[in-house]
Amino acid sequence: MLSAKSLFQEILDNDESFRLFCSIAAAGESQGGWENARIAALVPEESRALVPKIVRHGADEDKHGRIFNALLRKRGLRPVGVPRETDYTMLLERRGIGLAHQRLSREERLSERDVITYLAHSRVTEQRASEQMRLLSRHFADHPELGRAVRMISNDEDNHLAYCHEELLRLAEAGHGRTIQRVLRACALAEIRVYRDVGLAVMSRMGGILGWSRARSAALAAGIHAVYAYERLGGWRRMVSLEPPARRDALGGPAVPSPEYA
């Protein structure tokens, strides 16, 4: 029977599929760490109060990248190159979502609109990350190899999502509500398409490694398309709503160290 748990267990049990999974995850998290570090260095004067939180966000992303690489090392595996069609972050950038790497590479201050773009992009993508890590945590929180990593990353992603809600609500109260909703909607509609495309690409790669039958691959692809249909019809709205988070000032302190993975 196909289920999220059985599917991931199959990926986990095979060194090559696990290697690809962790490599994709580590590359994406490390990329997020670089982006947040550049944003922290370039925020405009009126947004300087955000800098410690952006730095903390980036430090968490770097930590997650180290965790995935440490999981590979524990098995004696080395990372592999990330196939272009599975690069979630860069595919979003190509759709004009978030702040482009070319923009972040320049020594030029961001605008307040850029900060809104960053936070809206993060609110959408952290929603996805939080949901994915909660799913893994539900099934693998007690796993001897993955459990601690899954619990730690899941908690961090929930903190990141709470931070985005809180800061976007603050900006909405300052008069940017319509801009925020417009940017959030564009981000969400682009993200669900990229998530579908990356999901199909990753499953195709996994199927080749694990020797899935055409019928099984077709069933998994149909499931990915069904999720996209649901999200396109209205599921995307969960990514654009804003409400005061239960976790207040979630990124207000220093990053939690992870010496066991560093």
CATH of the domain at 42: 1.20.1260.10
At 167-224, the pLDDT tens digits run: 999 999 999 999 999 999 999 999 999 999 999 999 999 999 999 999 999 999 999 9
pLDDT reported for residue 262: 40
AA letter at 187: C
In this model, does residue 261 exceed pLDDT 60?
Answer: no
Question: Do the domain assignments include residue 55?
Answer: yes
pLDDT reported for residue 3: 81
- pLDDT band at 249; cut points 50, 70, 90: confident
Looking at residues 153-163, what average pLDDT do you find?
97
pLDDT reported for residue 147: 93
Question: Do the domain assignments include residue 179?
Answer: yes
Question: Do the domain assignments include residue 101?
Answer: yes
In this model, does residue 258 exceed pLDDT 60?
Answer: no
At 122-133, the pLDDT tens digits run: 999 999 999 999
Contact criterion met (CB below 8 Å) for 108 and 42: yes
At 36-61, the pLDDT tens digits run: 999 999 999 999 999 999 999 999 99
Cα→Cα distances 55→150, 163, 213, Å: 22, 13, 45
At 77-100, the pLDDT tens digits run: 999 999 999 999 999 999 989 999
Number of domains observed in the structure of the chain: 1
Q: What contacts 24+ positions apart, CB below 8 Å, involve 207-211?
A: 209/14, 209/16, 209/17, 209/20, 210/10, 210/11, 210/14, 210/17
Q: What is the mean pLDDT of the chain?
A: 93
CA distance 188 to 236: 6
- pLDDT band at 257; cut points 50, 70, 90: low
Question: Do the domain assignments include residue 261?
Answer: no
pLDDT reported for residue 252: 83
Residue 223: exposure state from Cβ atoms within 10 A (0-12, 13-18, ≥19): middle
Question: Do the domain assignments include residue 262?
Answer: no
Question: Do the domain assignments include residue 200?
Answer: yes
Question: Do the domain assignments include residue 256?
Answer: no
Which domain does 38 fall in, by range? 4-239
pLDDT reported for residue 4: 83
Question: Which is more confident, 2 or 179?
Answer: 179
Q: What is the pTM of this model?
A: 0.93
**What percentage of residues in the chain have a pLDDT greater than 70?**
95
Question: Do the domain assignments include residue 116?
Answer: yes
In this model, does residue 259 exceed pLDDT 50?
Answer: no
